[in-house]
Amino acid sequence: MSESPRESWVEGANDPSGGFGLANLPMGIVALEGRGASVAVRAGKSILDCRTLVEVGLLSRLDRGTQDALAAKTLNPFMGLGRGAWRATRAELARLLAASTADLRDHAARSRAVIPEWGSSPRLPCEIGDYTDFYASVHHATNVGSMFRPDQPLLPNWKHMPIGYHGRSSSIVPSGTPVVRPKGQTVATDAGPPSFGPSRLLDYEMEVGALIGPGNALGEPIPVARALDHVFGFVLLNDWSARDIQKWEYQPLGPFLAKNFTSTISGWVVSLDALEPYRVPKPPRAEVDPAPLDYLKWDGDCVFDVNLEVLIASASMRASGTAPTRISLGNFTEMYWSVAQMVAHHTSGGCNLRTGDLLASGTVSGPTPESRGCLLERSWRGTQPIALGDGTTRTFLQDGDEVIMRAWCERAGLPRISFGECRGIVQPSR
């Protein structure tokens, strides 16, 4: 009986509940002691150092350009090569890790090329040039709109185009980086006057980020049917938000200091090829909704069946060993606007996306309270406190709180795909 191509000699890679088997193989950047930053691949409980694999000739089946990109200190050169190089690399890595292949398993450099997952420090997976945050969940937009504009929760343009704003790439940090509570202007009443000080209404936002591979030339839009060819993969993103600062500043030009202090992303980039089994047709719009304009219309449009979980652990919970409390569990299929539509709209006016650009989905919320992706919604603007495992409650985040985001794909008969975690602990203002 032949071995399954999904079986591996790497510890933990065959664990059906682990999510890091040969069907996944997400990529990132890790800092290795004595070696610096390196392109890496997660498999089971181990990490593959791609630079070492190139140096010892174990990736010689790949073309020279791909090998050079995999030996770089950032993923950008590899991301820019496009889907052909990505797929060839993924297939070759799966071959090297397969139980039936001894090339790497029995190689003298195995101990340098394959290291324990805990023996590395996560970095940002790439150099992020520009960052755009969308507002693409109809449940989130409706919930938030109803709090502040009960007579008109959705503005007239919302169902006609993906709404977004340009964020700040310099304050995007890897998972595990502390988050300092921001300061800014806030008001006690809508008319002011303002005072300056630490935000009292600090929030998280559960989002999915799409990292751009090959970009487009200035003035040349990306057609919606080709948009996903420009997406290297997905990460988790926590768009930390200061709701009291946001309320005062967002009119007339939108988010600014309430959003630019920190955004956290997970370290492993999950490819669209890994997510292909969980790709599902985009649900049809309600009959009362307007049809998308032609440049946003694609018969093959899709969403991805990704479970999205948010947990909170207070400082006292971590000290006592109390498990984090699940705050919400949603799914990425709930998006009104697809990733392809976001890319197409972003470039429709001629904007040029570049390799390493990050496009975020906006808060992913579902139709139930338990699936709402931020505390503003979960506590309904602070009126419905959420109980934690230490007996305390939260309407917004307190200093010492750790927000943990996880995501995975799982379905009977399909391999589990894990995104890992996106973590951050709130620190007092400085």
- What does each of the 430 residues of the chain score in pLDDT, given as a tens digit? 333 447 999 999 999 899 999 999 999 999 988 888 999 999 999 999 999 999 999 999 999 999 999 999 999 999 999 999 999 999 999 999 999 999 999 999 999 999 998 877 779 999 999 999 999 999 999 999 999 899 999 999 999 999 999 999 999 999 999 999 999 999 999 888 999 999 999 999 999 999 999 999 999 999 999 999 999 999 999 999 999 999 999 989 999 999 999 999 999 999 999 999 999 999 999 999 999 999 999 999 999 999 999 999 999 999 999 999 999 999 999 999 999 999 999 999 999 999 999 999 999 999 999 999 999 999 999 999 999 999 999 999 999 999 999 999 999 999 999 999 999 999 999 9
Which member of 107, 139, 140, 160 is catalytic? 140
147 and 257 inside one domain: yes
205 and 347 inside one domain: yes
39 assigned to some structural domain? yes
Instruction: Please say whether the dihedral angle defined by the alpha carbons of residues 52, 57, 61 and 67, taken in this order, is positive or negative.
Output: positive
**Residue after which a domain boundary falls, among 64, 96, 122:** 122
Encoded tokens for 323? 């498990």
Residues 6+ positions from 175 with CB-CB distance below 8 Å: 122, 264, 265, 266, 267, 420, 421, 422, 423, 424
358 and 250 inside one domain: yes
Show the domain range for 287: 131-303+331-369
275 and 153 inside one domain: yes
208 and 341 inside one domain: yes
179 and 258 inside one domain: yes
Question: What stretches of 98-151 show up as alpha helix (H) in DSSP?
Answer: 110-113, 138-148
DSSP for 249-308, written as a single string: H-TTT--STTTSS-EEE-SPBEEHHHHGGGEEEPPPPPTTSPPPPGGG--TT-EEE--EE
Q: How many domains does the chain have?
A: 2
Encoded tokens for 352? 């040029």
Segment (H or E) for 183: strand 183-187
275: domain CATH number is 3.90.850.10
The rounded Cα 63 to chain-centroid distance in angstroms is 30
Q: Report the first-to-last Cα separation within the chain, whole angstroms.
A: 63
405 assigned to some structural domain? no
Q: Are 211 and 132 in contact (CB under 8 A)?
A: no
141 and 264 inside one domain: yes
386 assigned to some structural domain? no
64 and 171 inside one domain: no
117 and 142 inside one domain: no
74 and 154 inside one domain: no
Query: In the prediction, which pLDDT does 206 show?
Result: 98
Q: Are 131 and 167 in contact (CB under 8 A)?
A: yes
Q: How many residues does the chain have?
A: 430
Query: In the prediction, which pLDDT does 246 show?
Result: 96
Per the annotation, the verdict on 140 as an active-site residue is: yes
